[in-house]
Chain A
Amino acid sequence: GDSVTQMEGPVTLSEEACLTINCTYTATGYPSLFWYVQYPGEGLQLLLKATKADDKGSNKGFEATYRKETTSFHLEKGSVQVSDSAVYFCALSDQTGGSYIPTFGRGTSLIVHP
């Protein structure tokens, strides 16, 4: 079956540091890939997505590139802010028996200090 593996957290950074959160996946078909963000006390919300190989998703200074050859979708940001402190989930969506059931990673907590 499909699976998503994320680096374990927490990731602790100082403000303005560079961020990379690794995500790799296994899928039987041609999935779409997503990064969701969960701020404290809230539900998940879409951060960015990519729907085919070599696509780059970007939003709020975050980027991720769909790498089919390495089955990866790593999240990057050049300069993090305290307000980026949250839990980040990598996910994929693939067709299984006619239903698109998303598969999520376990989440990576990011803590940014001033």
Chain B
Amino acid sequence: NAGVTQTPKFQVLKTGQSMTLQCAQDMNHNSMYWYRQDPGMGLRLIYYSASEGTTDKGEVPNGYNVSRLNKREFSLRLESAAPSQTSVYFCASRVTGTGSYNEQFFGPGTRLTVL
């Protein structure tokens, strides 16, 4: 049981390049999330997927797209990377039940630098 896995762990891009961050979970969770973490800003939600086949924008979606490929996988794409997208990106998943009490499980993060 690997939990939430993310690839790659580190990436350096040049401005204008594109890339896809991969995330997979093996806990049969319905909901998945993408966050970015910047110094002094805490976690900011980029996109989330409440269930397979649905995606919604979070707080900071500009410059990103997502795909919920199946129940296990949720990818984040940067079409034209900008230096402002230099950050640490975290994927998370969560069981969706009838209450708000279920915690999120986080991956180890992808550290992205855009030059």
Instruction: Evaluate contact between A94 and B100: CB separation under 8 angstroms.
Output: yes
Chain B residues with CB under 8 A of A98 = 50
Query: Taking A99-B56, A104-B42 as contacts, is the C-beta distance between A32 and B108 under 8 angstroms?
Result: no
Chain A residues with CB under 8 A of B4 = 43
10 A-B residue pairs with CB within 8 Å? A31-B100, A36-B103, A46-B103, A51-B101, A89-B43, A95-B100, A100-B100, A102-B104, A104-B43, A106-B41
Count A-B contacts at CB 8 Å.
61
Q: Which of B67-115 contact A (CB under 8 A)?
A: 90, 92, 94, 96, 99-109
Tell me the bound Cα distance from A99 to B33 in angstroms: 12
Contact of B42 among A49, A95, A105 (CB under 8 A): A105
In the assembled complex, B45 has its CB within 8 A of some CB on chain A: yes
The 5 closest A-B pairs by CB, nearest first: A43-B106, A106-B42, A51-B101, A93-B100, A32-B101
In the assembled complex, A42 has its CB within 8 A of some CB on chain B: yes
Most buried by B among A32, A44, A106, A107: A44
Most buried by A among B40, B106, B107: B106
Chain A residues with CB under 8 A of B108 = 42-43
Instruction: Evaluate contact between A34 and B107: CB separation under 8 angstroms.
Output: no
